[in-house]
Amino acid sequence: MVSSLKKMKLIAISATMSLLLAAMLACNIGGEADAPAAEPMASEPIKFGMILVGPRNDRGWSQAHHDGGAYAAQKTGSEMIVMDFINPADSPDITVAQVVDQMVEQGAELIFATSEDMKDGILEAAASHPDVPMIWSSGDSAWADGDAYHPELANLGNIMGKMEYGKMMAGCAAALKTETGNIGFVGPLINAETKRLANSAYLGAKYCWEESRGKNIADLNFEIKWIGFWFHIPGVTLDPTVVTNDFYDSGADVVISGIDTTQVIVEAGKRNSSGEQVWAVPYDYHGACAEAPGACLGVPYFNWGPSYLNTINAVANDNFSATWKWLGPDWSNINNEDTSMIGFAKGDALGDDNWDTLNNKFIKGLANGDINLFKGPLQYQDGSTFVAAGEEASDKQIWYTTGLLEGIIGDAGD
């Protein structure tokens, strides 16, 4: 009798647990225009794989890639296979090489691996599938003059945008808007890419603070805090929400996002809507300002569509070559979705006068070469020379930036 009662109780526990489960289940820096040259349109559509580090709808880095792939697929009638969340935190048991194997098995004729963090996996996959063209976005494995050249991987090319220009625009917008002279920069992890982007934002801010507003650079505080990765990983990185609020609490009124998710603009929006005069510049995705239009000064964004379209056409036309492409804006119209790799979408909070300065003076100056912010003398925080007086930084100097520039407050990870 007691035994059967126990059994009934166990069944009751199991049933309750099952109900709970079921309920839950229901639920180039010199300034010339260097937009990608158009390939002839593909004769036949292809199937290609898109490996994303984050979710395809993050309104940040991953969505920019996803939308670029969708643009190219739509233009060519090709089919895109998407795998998102491919990173050690979200998918610890899945490697990039495994994903590539699976995509190739599904018939993918071209693979896009879209994160710097995918380096080891895509190098391994390219070696394993030498007949499948691949693009490692943001990498430098196909750069003959680069420090990490892999000439043996003739099927692995690289595409990256010259976001340095976009960050200069972000920095300029911040400097034009700030009332306190305190600008924060939420950085991801510390590497050459993130340092050159932070430096670019600072150079843009410095230029517009001094030249457009006529102020002394000593009165501009430009501080960077690193969270530890491109997005928040609980228990591993700092929380970007907390870092952003700490910037505002410490007197910054503009925060520039260097991370791939939207916390910076969201926090700015919360404060702005309660009456605080604070603003933000998000990153990566052209629609990022929609999170908080009233707090958004504008967004520098990647437009991967044209370069991905060219790559698909090249593969379909059988003339793919593994090259390193570092593509800048189409200076005739940086927001042309069919031609420009880098754009800057104006935010509502920037104001017409500031936009006029940013667009008709600063961006125009970058476009025609009148403004070259990577011209020496430029020094790192420790006083060592980045670019000597009278010289202009080469692509290699910029790509492999080793430190933060003098004038930036924050750790350079040295």
Partner 1 sequence: MAIVEFEIILAAIISMSAPLVLAVVGETISERVGIVNLSLEGSLLITAMIGFAVASITGSVLLGFIAAALLGGIIALLICFANITLYINMIAVGFTLTILLGKLSSYLGQPFVRIPGPYVPQIEVPWLKEIPIIGKAVIDQNVVVWLSIASIIIAWWFLYKTKSGLVLNAVGENPYSADARGINVKFIKYFYGTLGGAIVGMAGASFSLHSIYGWSNGHTLNYGWICLAIVIFGGWNPVRGAIGAYAFGGLQIMALKLQGVLFGLSQVLPLIPFPLMIMSLILIQYSQDKQFIPNRVRSILFGNQPEHLGDTFKRG
Stretch that binds partner 1, among 33-41, 154-162, 272-280, 382-390 (CB under 8 A): 272-280
Q: Which of 65, 150, 271, 286 binds partner 1 (CB under 8 A)?
A: 271
Which value, to the nearest 10 degrees, does the dihedral of the CA atoms of residues 267, 269, 270, 275 take?
130
| Residue in 263, 265, 224 with CA at minimum distance from that of residue 240 | 263
Nearer to partner 1, 248 or 320 (CB): 248
Q: What phi, psi does 162 have (nearest 5°)?
A: -80, 75
Q: Give the range of 38-46, 57-65, 72-80, 307-315 binding partner 1 by CB under 8 A.
A: 57-65
Site for partner 1 in 89-128 (CB under 8 A): 89-90
By CB under 8 A, tell whether 410 contacts partner 1.
yes
Q: Interface residues for partner 1 in 197-226 (CB under 8 A)?
A: 225-226
Q: How far apart are CA 119 and CA 111, in angstroms?
A: 14
Question: Please, which residue, 43 or 273, has the CB nearer to partner 1?
Answer: 273
Cβ atoms < 10 Å from Cβ of 228: 16
Q: Is 231 in the site for partner 1 (CB under 8 A)?
A: yes
Q: Is 266 in the site for partner 1 (CB under 8 A)?
A: yes
Q: Which of these ranges, 18-26, 146-154, 176-184, 208-216, lies near partner 1 under the rule CB under 8 A?
A: 18-26
Cβ-based nearer residue to partner 1, 30 or 287: 287
Side-chain half-sphere exposure of 296, counting CA atoms within 13 A: 22
Measured between alpha carbons, how far is residue 370 from residues 32, 351, 359 in Å? Answer: 11, 24, 14
> Which of these segments, 74-82, 134-142, 232-240, 319-327, binds partner 1 (CB under 8 A)?
232-240
Among 249, 318, 352, 353, binds partner 1 (CB under 8 A): 249
Q: How far is the CB of 238 from partner 1 (least distance, A)?
A: 7
- Binding-residue total with partner 1 (CB under 8 A): 48
> Judged by CB under 8 A, does residue 232 bind partner 1?
yes
Concatenated DSSP letters of 222-268: EEEEE-SSSS--TTTS--HHHHHHHHHHTT-SEEEE-SSSSHHHHHH
With b for 16 or more beta-carbon neighbours within 10 A and e for fewer, the 113-144 pattern comes to: bbbbbbbebbbebbeebeebbbbbbbbbbbbe
The least CB distance from residue 233 to partner 1, in Å, is 7
CB-based burial label for 23 (10 Å; 0-12, 13-18, 19+): exposed
For 286, the 3-state DSSP assignment is coil
The answer to whether 274 contacts partner 1 (rule: CB under 8 A) is yes
Taking a C-beta distance cutoff of 8 angstroms, is the pair 344, 71 a contact?
Answer: no
Scanning 52-60, 65-73, 194-202, 213-221 for contacts with partner 1 by CB under 8 A, the matching segment is 52-60
Q: Is 324 helix (H, G, I), strand (E, B) or coil?
A: strand
CB nearer to partner 1: pick between 25 and 37 = 25
Say if CB 145 and CB 398 are below 8 A apart: no
**Using CA atoms, how far apart are residues 173 and 209, in angstroms rounded to an integer?**
10
CB of 3 to partner 1, least distance (A): 14
Residue 11 touching partner 1 (CB under 8 A): no
DSSP 43: S
- Tell me the closest approach of the beta carbon of residue 260 to partner 1, in angstroms: 8
* Out of 182, 261, 313, 354, the residue judged to bind partner 1 by CB under 8 A: 261
The 3 state secondary structure assigned to 181-223 is CEEEEEECCCCHHHHHHHHHHHHHHHHHHHHHCCCCHHHCEEE
Rule CB under 8 A: is residue 189 a binding residue for partner 1? no
| Cα distances (angstroms) measured from residue 303 to each of 46, 112, 113, 200 | 21, 15, 16, 19
For residues 214 and 234, which CB has a smaller minimum distance to partner 1 in the complex?
234
Among 180, 273, 319, 323, binds partner 1 (CB under 8 A): 273
Q: Kindly list the residues in this chain that would bind partner 1 in the complex (CB under 8 A).
A: 9, 12-13, 16-17, 20-21, 24-25, 27, 54-55, 57-59, 85, 89-90, 225-226, 231-235, 238-239, 241-243, 245-246, 249-250, 261-263, 266-267, 270-271, 273-275, 291, 409-411
